[in-house]
C-alpha cells in the first residue's frame, strides 16, 4: 500500500497571502495524484488531478505541481472561502490512498 | 446537474448488517466507475470499494474485504453497499463518488454521505 503523508497538519495564513501544502508518497505515483477540498460540513470536491490539472470551475489561484513522490498544492492570494481541509490522493496503484489532510485556517 | 444521493445510513449493532444505496442522476451512470469512500467522525478520507461500469472489475480495501459487497444496477442508476459483520471502526460517513477511470481513478463528484453508526 502506498502511504501518503501531508504536511503541515494545520496552516494558518492571512488573506491575500500564499499557502503551500505538501504531499509525499511512500513510492513513486508518477503524476497520478489528485487534490480535494473539503469545507466544514460539506463533502469533498475535486480540485486537481494529474498532479497539476485544475478540475472544471476551480479558480486559477489553485495550482498543483510535482511528480514521483513529492507534490505541492499552492493557493495564491488566499480567500476566506478557501478555509478547508485539503487531501491528496494517489491513484497509481490499488488500494487508492489518501493523505491525512492539511487544514488551512485564515488568520 | 450531477447528483449522488446516499441513503440507508443508520445505527447498527456490532456484528450486524445493513445496506446503503446511492441514487445517481444527471449523467449516464452506466458509463462510469463508481466508488464508496468513508470518513470516520473527525478523521480523514478512506477509500472503501470501487467497481467498473459493467461490474467486471471490483476492488475492495483490505479493511472491508470479505465483509462488504459493492454492486450496481445500471438500469436503476443505483450503487449499493452491503455491509455485514460490522464493527466499531466501520462507524463513518459513507460517500458515494463518481470515479473517473480513463486516466484515473479519482473522484470527480461526491454525494453528501450516509452516516453509519456501529454501537451496542
pLDDT value at residue B85: 98
User: What's the length of chain A?
Assistant: 107
Distance from the A34 Cα atom to the nearest Cα atom in chain B, whole angstroms = 7
Nine cell digits for residue B66: 470479505
DSSP secondary structure letter of residue B23: E
DSSP secondary structure letter of residue A64: E
Cα B57 to Cα A75, A95, B19, B35, B51: the distances in Å are 37, 14, 21, 12, 6
> Contact A96/B113, CB-based, under 8 Å?
no
DSSP secondary structure letter of residue A92: S
Cα separation, B78 vs B6, in Å, equals 10
Nine cell digits for residue B113: 454521505
Distance from the A89 Cα atom to the nearest Cα atom in chain B, whole angstroms = 8
Asked whether B6 and B96 are in contact (CB, 8 A), the reply is yes
Per CB-CB distance under 8 Å, the chain B contacts of A46 are 106-109
Cα separation, A104 vs B23, in Å, equals 32
Asked whether B92 and B112 are in contact (CB, 8 A), the reply is no
pLDDT value at residue B102: 80
Q: What is the mean pLDDT of chain B?
A: 97
Contacts for B119 with CB less than 8 Å, ≥ 6 apart: B11, B13, B14, B88, B91
pLDDT value at residue A2: 98
Per CB-CB distance under 8 Å, the chain A contacts of B110 are 43-45
Cα separation, A18 vs A30, in Å, equals 26
* Cβ of residue A99 closer than 8 Å to a chain B Cβ: yes
Specify the 3-state DSSP secondary structure of B10. Answer: coil
Residues of chain B with pLDDT under 50: none
pLDDT (tens place) for every residue of chain A, 107 residues total:
999 999 999 999 999 999 999 999 999 999 999 999 999 999 999 999 999 999 999 999 999 999 999 999 999 999 999 999 999 999 999 999 999 999 999 99
Cα separation, B77 vs A38, in Å, equals 26
Q: State the count of interchain CB pairs (< 8 A) between A and B.
A: 57
Nine cell digits for residue A105: 485556517
- Rounded to the nearest 10°, the torsion over CA A20, A25, A28, A31 is -40
Contacts for B61 with CB less than 8 Å, ≥ 6 apart: A95, B46, B47, B48, B49
Distance from the A91 Cα atom to the nearest Cα atom in chain B, whole angstroms = 6
Amino acid at each position: 500500500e502506498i502511504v501518503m503523508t501531508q504536511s503541515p497538519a494545520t496552516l494558518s495564513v492571512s488573506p491575500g497571502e500564499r499557502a503551500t501544502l505538501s504531499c509525499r508518497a511512500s513510492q513513486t505515483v508518477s503524476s497520478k495524484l489528485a487534490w480535494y477540498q473539503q469545507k466544514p460540513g460539506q463533502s469533498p470536491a475535486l480540485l486537481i488531478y494529474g498532479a497539476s490539472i485544475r478540475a472544471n470551475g476551480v479558480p486559477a489561484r489553485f495550482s498543483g505541481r510535482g511528480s514521483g513522490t513529492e507534490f505541492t498544492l499552492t493557493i495564491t492570494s488566499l480567500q476566506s472561502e478557501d478555509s478547508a481541509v485539503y487531501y491528496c490522493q494517489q491513484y497509481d496503484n490499488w488500494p487508492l490512498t489518501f493523505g491525512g489532510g492539511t487544514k488551512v485556517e485564515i488568520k | 446537474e450531477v447528483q449522488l444521493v446516499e441513503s440507508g445510513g443508520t445505527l447498527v449493532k456490532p456484528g450486524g448488517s445493513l445496506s446503503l444505496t446511492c441514487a445517481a442522476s444527471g449523467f449516464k451512470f452506466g458509463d462510469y466507475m463508481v466508488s464508496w469512500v468513508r470518513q470516520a467522525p473527525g478523521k480523514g478520507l478512506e477509500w472503501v470499494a470501487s467497481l467498473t461500469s459493467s461490474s467486471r472489475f471490483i476492488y475492495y480495501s483490505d479493511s472491508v474485504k470479505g465483509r462488504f459487497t459493492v454492486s450496481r444496477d445500471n438500469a436503476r442508476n443505483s450503487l449499493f453497499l452491503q455491509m455485514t459483520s460490522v464493527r466499531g471502526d466501520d462507524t463513518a460517513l459513507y460517500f458515494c463518488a463518481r470515479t473517473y477511470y480513463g486516466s484515473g481513478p479519482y473522484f470527480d463528484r461526491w454525494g453528501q454521505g450516509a452516516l453509519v453508526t456501529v454501537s451496542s
